[in-house]
Amino acid sequence: MHIVLFDTTARTQLYPFSLIRPLAALRSGIFTMQERWSAAFEKDTFTLSEAYLQQPVPNKHADGLLYINASAVFSHELFNEVRSLAKQTALYSADVLIAVSANELLTFPIEDDQLASFKKQQAVSKIELLAYPFDLVRMNDALLRMDFAFIQQTREAAAISSTNTVINPEQIFIEEGAEVEYCHLNASAGPIYIGKNALLMEGAMIRGPFAALDEAVVKMGAKIYGATSVGRKCTVGGEIKNAVFFDYSNKAHDGYIGDAVIGSWCNIGAGASCSNVKNTASDIKVWNQPLRKWIAAGNKCGVMLGDYTRVSINSSLTTGMVSGISANIVSNRLSPKYVTDFTWDVATGEKYFLHKALQEIENWMQMKNKSLTNEDKSVVEYLYGQL
Give the residue from 122, 146, 166 where a domain finishes: 122
Question: b/e string for 206-233 if b means 16 or more Cβ within 10 A?
Answer: bbbbbbbbbbbbbbeebbbbbbbbbbbb
Between the two ends of the chain, the Cα-to-Cα distance in Å is 40
Let me know whether 331 and 271 are in one domain.
Answer: yes
**Domain span at residue 48?**
2-122
Q: Long-range pairs for 330-339 at CB < 8 Å and ≥24 separation?
A: 337/285, 337/287, 338/287, 338/289, 339/309
Let me know whether 114 and 168 are in one domain.
Answer: no
Residue 375 covered by a domain: yes
Q: What is the pLDDT of residue 61?
A: 72
Let me know whether 262 and 295 are in one domain.
Answer: yes
Nearest-angstrom CA–CA distance, 245 and 105: 34
Nearest to 268 by CA among 301, 229, 314: 314
Phi, psi of 263 (to 5 degrees): -65, 180
Let me know whether 155 and 297 are in one domain.
Answer: yes
Q: Quick one: 177 exposed, middle or buried, by C-beta within 10 A (0-12, 13-18, 19+)?
A: middle
What is the domain count for the chain? 2
C-alpha to C-alpha distances, 24 to 11, 21, 227, 371, 379, nearest whole angstrom = 10, 8, 21, 23, 17
Nearest to 84 by CA among 125, 47, 44: 125
H-helix or E-strand containing 184? strand 184-186
Residue 129 covered by a domain: no
Let me know whether 146 and 254 are in one domain.
Answer: yes
Q: What is the pLDDT of residue 332?
A: 83
Residue 267 covered by a domain: yes
DSSP for residue 14: G
Let me know whether 218 and 83 are in one domain.
Answer: no
Let me know whether 272 and 345 are in one domain.
Answer: yes
Q: What is the pLDDT of residue 134?
A: 97
Let me know whether 161 and 263 are in one domain.
Answer: yes
Residue 172's DSSP bridge partners are: 192
Let me know whether 235 and 317 are in one domain.
Answer: yes
pTM of the model: 0.96
Cα atoms found within 13 Å of the Cα of residue 53, Cβ hemisphere only: 20
Prior bond to 290 cis, omega within 30?
no
Local structure of 134: helix, strand or coil: coil
Let me know whether 227 and 362 are in one domain.
Answer: yes
Residue 191 covered by a domain: yes
CA dihedral 290, 304, 98, 83 (to 10 degrees): 150
Nearest to 308 by CA among 378, 363, 271: 363
Prior bond to 22 cis, omega within 30?
no
Residue 130 covered by a domain: no
C-alpha to C-alpha distances, 213 to 10, 34, 178, 193, 288, nearest whole angstrom = 29, 16, 10, 8, 30
Q: What is the pLDDT of residue 1?
A: 87
> Which residues are CB-contacts of 246 (< 8 A; sequence separation ≥ 6)?
17, 27, 231, 261, 262, 263, 264, 307
Nearest to 93 by CA among 66, 123, 128, 130: 123
* Helix, strand counts (H, E) of the chain: 6, 33
Let me know whether 114 and 139 are in one domain.
Answer: no
Give the residue from 59, 94, 122 where a domain finishes: 122
H-helix or E-strand containing 137? helix 135-138
pLDDT by residue, tens only, the chain of 387 residues: 899 999 999 999 999 999 999 999 999 999 999 999 999 999 999 999 999 999 888 776 778 999 999 999 999 999 999 999 999 999 999 999 999 999 989 999 999 999 999 999 999 999 999 999 999 999 999 999 999 999 999 999 999 999 999 999 999 999 999 999 999 999 999 999 999 999 999 999 999 999 999 999 999 999 999 999 999 999 999 999 999 999 999 999 999 999 999 999 999 999 999 999 999 999 999 999 999 999 999 999 999 999 999 999 999 999 999 999 999 999 888 999 999 999 999 999 999 999 999 999 999 999 999 999 999 999 999 999 999
Give the residue from 58, 89, 122 where a domain finishes: 122
Let me know whether 170 and 98 are in one domain.
Answer: no
Residue 113 covered by a domain: yes
Looking at residue 198, which CATH number applies to its domain?
2.160.10.10
Residue 128 covered by a domain: no
Residue 127 covered by a domain: no
Give the distance between the most distant pair of CA atoms in the chain: 64
Binning the chain into helix, strand and coil, the percentages to the nearest 5 are: 20, 30, 50
